[in-house]
Chains A and B, each alone.
Chain A
Amino acid sequence: MTGQTEIRADLAEGTTGDEVDQVQGYLERFGYLGPIAERFAAFGSQPFPLAEGDDLADLVGRPAGVERGTFDSATADAVRRFQEFAGLSVTGVVDGATAARMNAPRCGNPDAPDLAEFSTSGRKWATTNLRYAIDNTTPDLSPGQVTTAVEQAFALWAGHTPLRFTPVAMSAGPEIVIRFAAGDHGDGSPFDGPSGVLAHAFFPSVPPAPVTAIMGDAHFDEAETWTVTVPPAAGTIDLVTVAAHEFGHSLGLGHSSVAGALMAPFYGGPHRAVEADDIAGIQSLYGGFPIAHAMWTHGTDLHVEVDANVESIQRFGFFTRVVGRPNTTNWYHFAVPTPVIVDGNRLAFARAMLRLVTGGPDAVVRDVHVYDGSSRIAAHQAVNLSGSLPFAVFGVPHKPDVFWGAGISVGVRTGTGSTAERRMDFISAGIDFLR
C-alpha cells in the first residue's frame, strides 16, 4: 500500500475537497501529475505561477493547471493517463475500478506513462552539427515561407538537444535533404496522391554509409496542399508541423504512443511544439546540451512596440501586466543582457525562454522571434500559446555565435474578452548560451 488514506470512488471533474487532494497526491507520487512543479522545485524555486497563499497570487492569477483539492481538467487528464497505463476504461473519472486499482498494493516507484512511450529507430547521427539543404519547394508557398517553416521545425529539436542545423547548398553534401515530390519519386516509397500519407523521412545514416545517402532525407507529398497559415484553410496541411514530425524521424525517432506527442502517428492540425515525450525521446539519442551561460531579465524590463494598442500597463515587483486593447496585435520586446565573450571564448546562442501568464485565449502569444542585434536568428511563428507558460522554450536552429546582444520579441494577439481575459503577465525572459 502507499501508506495513504484509502481513495474514494465517484470523483469527477468539478469535485472539490480532501478526497480530490488524496487522488492528486497519488497521481503526483506515481508520476502522472505535477512534472512542472517538480522541475522547478529541483531548481529551488517555487512552482509557477505563484502558489496559493503567496502575497502576489491574486496579482499573477491562478494557474491554468493543477489546483490542489479541485478536480480540474489537468487532474482528469492525469486520471486518464493512469487508466490507460493500468488497462482500465479511460474515462477521466475516478470510478470504482480506478479507485480499487489506486488502493491496491503496489511498489512505490513512479510509473512512466510519459517517459517510455517514444520509440527510436536505433540509429542516430554521429555528429551534432547537421547540415541540410532544401532541394526544391512547393508552388503552394513562397521559397521564403518554406525556408522559414523548415527552420522553425528544426528549432523545435534544437531547443532541447546539442544538435545544430545549418543550411548549406546541395553541392555541399548535406546530411538532410528536403524535397517536395509527387507519386513515384525514385526512393522506392511512392507517394499516394492527396491524403493517404503526407510525407516520409529516412532514419539517420550509420557509418560507414556516406552521409550523402538518402538516409536522413525528408520528402513531402506535393499532392497535398501545404500552408503555413494558422488556422489552416480546409484541406490544407501545416508544413511546420509535418516537417517537425518528419525531422524527428530524420534524427532517429519512431512513432510515439502518447496521443499528444508531436511524434504520435496522426496529424491533427497545427502542432508547433515538442512535448515531454518527444523531448525524452530525442534526449535518449543525443542527450541535453551543456549550458555555458544563462542570462535572464525581469518582466519589468519589457518594451512595448505600439503604445496605442495597450489599454493599461502596470509594473509590479518582478513582472509587467499588460492589457491589450480589444482586437489588436502588438509586439513586446526584451533585451537580454548578453555575455558575448566569457573566459576568452565567444559564446553561441542555444535557445530562448519565456515565463508568462495570459488571461486565456483572448491574449495569445502568436509569434516569438529571437535576435542577435538586428539579425533574426529564430522565428517561431503562429505558436498560439496562452494560459500559464512556466517555461516556454524557443530553440535557435543554427545556434550561431553571439556578436551583438540577445533580443526576444513576443507577438501577441488580443481578442474581445474582458480585461482579465486580455491581460498578459510577463514574468521573465532568458537565453541559454553554449561555449
Chain B
Amino acid sequence: MARVRVRNDTGSRLDAVRIHPPGREQDPVDFGPVEVGGSSDYREVRDVRRFARVEVSGPGGDRALQPFDLVGEEALPPGRYTYRLGLAGDRLTLDLEADREADDAPG
C-alpha cells in the first residue's frame, strides 16, 4: 500500500482534484480542494504509477489529463508520493515525486 497526496502548483485554487489509479478507474480517489502552493492530505492507494487520469475543477472550469496507457510503467514500491499538478500554458501537467518519510511531519 502507498500513500499519495496532491500538490497544487497551478497558481490557482483547485476546488476539486480526483485521481484514477489503476484498478480505480471508475472509483477515483478524491483529494478535495487544494489551495495554491498547498498539498492535500495523503490518501492510501493500492497501486501507484507515474501517470494516472486526473480531473480538476478550478476557476477556468474542469480539466482532465488523460493517459494513453500505462505501458512500461511499473507499480511503484510502497511509500509516500506527491503528484505535483502544474500548468504549462493552459495545459495541465502532472509529475510524481517520491517523498521522504518526514515530508508530511508537522512543522
Q: Is A216 an interface residue (CB 8 A)?
A: no
**Interface size, A (range):** 20 to 34
Chain A 178-201, CB-CB to B under 8 Å as 1, else 0, gives 000000000000001101111111
Q: A195-B53, A265-B50 are in contact. Are A245 and B25 (CB under 8 A)?
A: no
B25, B53, B72, B93: the one contacting A255 at CB < 8 Å is B72
Complex formed: what's the CA distance from A202 to B22 in Å?
18
| Minimum CB distance partner of A265 in chain B | B51
CA distance A198 to B70 in the complex (A): 10
Query: What CA separation (Å) do A203 and B72 show in the bound complex?
Result: 9
Binding site for A on B (CB under 8 A): 20, 22, 25-26, 50-51, 53, 64-73, 88, 91, 93-94
Partner of B68, one of A90, A203, A267: A267
Contact assessment for A197 and B72 in the assembled complex, using a CB-CB cutoff below 8 Å? no
Q: Is the CB of B70 within 8 A of A268?
A: no
Chain B min CB distance to A267 (Å): 5
Q: Which residue of A lies closest to B70 (CB)?
A: A197
Query: Which residues of chain B come closer than 8 Å to A267, judged between CB atoms?
Result: 66-68
B72 partner, pick from A80, A195, A196, A249, beta carbons under 8 A:
A249
> Would you call A266 and B88 a contact (CB within 8 A)?
no
Q: Is A359 an interface residue (CB 8 A)?
A: no
The answer to whether B65 touches A249 (Cβ under 8 A) is: no
A268 with B91: CB separation less than 8 A: yes
Task: Flag whether A121 is at the interface (Cβ < 8 A).
Answer: yes
| Chain B proximity of A246: nearest CB distance (Å) | 7
Q: Which residues of B contact A245 (CB under 8 A)?
A: 68-69
A147 within 8 A of B: no
Minimum CB–CB distance from A255 to chain B (whole Å) comes to 7
| Assembled-state Cα–Cα distance A334/B82 (Å) | 54
- Report the bound CA distance from A197 to B26 in whole Å: 11
Partner of A259, one of B53, B67, B69, B91: B91
Check if A197 sits within 8 Å of B68, measured CB to CB: yes
Q: Nearest Cβ distance between residue B11 and chain A, in whole angstroms? A: 11
Closest CB of chain A to B12's CB: distance in Å?
Answer: 16
Q: By the criterion CB–CB under 8 Å, are B68 and A195 in contact?
A: no
Q: Are B66 and A121 in contact (CB under 8 A)?
A: no
List 13 contacting pairs A-B, 8 Å CB cutoff, sorted by A: A196-B26, A197-B25, A199-B69, A201-B69, A202-B71, A246-B71, A254-B72, A255-B71, A259-B88, A265-B67, A266-B51, A267-B68, A268-B91
Give the distance in Å from the alpha carbon of A121 to the alpha carbon of B72 in the complex.
7
Q: Which residues of A contact B88 (CB under 8 A)?
A: 80, 90, 259
The winner among B66, B73, B88 for most chain A CB atoms within 10 A is B66
Whether A201 pairs with B25 at a CB distance below 8 angstroms is no
A242 interface contact, C-beta 8 A: yes
Query: Which chain A residues border B22 with CB–CB below 8 Å?
Result: 192
Task: Let me know if A119 is at the binding interface, CB within 8 A.
Answer: yes
Contact A193 B69 (CB under 8 A): no
List the B residue with the shortest CB-CB distance to A189: B70
Does A246 lie within 8 Å of B67, measured CB to CB? no
Report the minimal beta-carbon distance from A177 to chain B, rounded to whole angstroms: 16
Partner of A198, one of B65, B69, B73: B69
Partner of A200, one of B53, B70, B93: B70
- In contact, A196 and B53 (Cβ under 8 angstroms): yes
Which residue in chain A gives the minimum CB-CB distance to B71? A249
B20: chain A residues within 8 A (beta carbon): 195-196
A254 contacts B66, CB within 8 Å?
no
Chain A CB count within 10 A is highest, among B20, B51, B68, B91, for B68
Distance to closest chain B CB from A261 (angstroms): 12
Give the chain A neighbours of B65 by CB distance below 8 A: 266
> Among residues 233 to 264 in chain A, which have CB atoms less than 8 Å away from a CB atom of chain B?
242, 245-246, 249, 254-255, 259
Task: Name the A residues within 8 Å of B94 (CB-CB).
Answer: 266
A195 to B88, CA, bound (A): 23
Q: Which B residues are CB-close (under 8 A) to A193? A: 25-26
State A273–B94 Cα separation when bound (angstroms): 23
Closest B residue to A84 by CB, please name it.
B88
What separation, in Å, do the CA atoms of A90 and B10 have in the docked complex?
A: 12
Knowing that A195-B66, A198-B66, A266-B67 touch, tell me 6 more A-B residue pairs with CB under 8 angstroms. A195-B64, A198-B69, A245-B69, A255-B51, A266-B65, A267-B66
CA–CA, A193 and B64, complex, Å? 16
- B68 cross-chain contacts in A, Cβ below 8 A: 197-199, 242, 245-246, 265-267
A192 to B25, CA, bound (A): 6
What are the residues of chain B within 8 A of A80 when measuring CB–CB? 88
Q: Given A90, A121, A246, A268, which contacts B69 in the complex, CB threshold below 8 Å?
A: A246
A-side contacts of B93, CB under 8 Å? 259
Residues of A within 8 A of B70 (CB): 197, 200
Among the listed A119, A195, A203, A246, which residue makes an inter-chain contact with B25, where contact means beta carbons less than 8 Å apart? A195
Question: Residues of B contacting A121 with CB < 8 Å?
Answer: 72
B71 interface neighbour in A195, A254, A259, A266, Cβ under 8 Å: A254
How far, in whole Å, are A268 and B64 apart by their CA atoms in the complex? 9
List of B residues within 8 angstroms of A254 by Cβ: 71-72
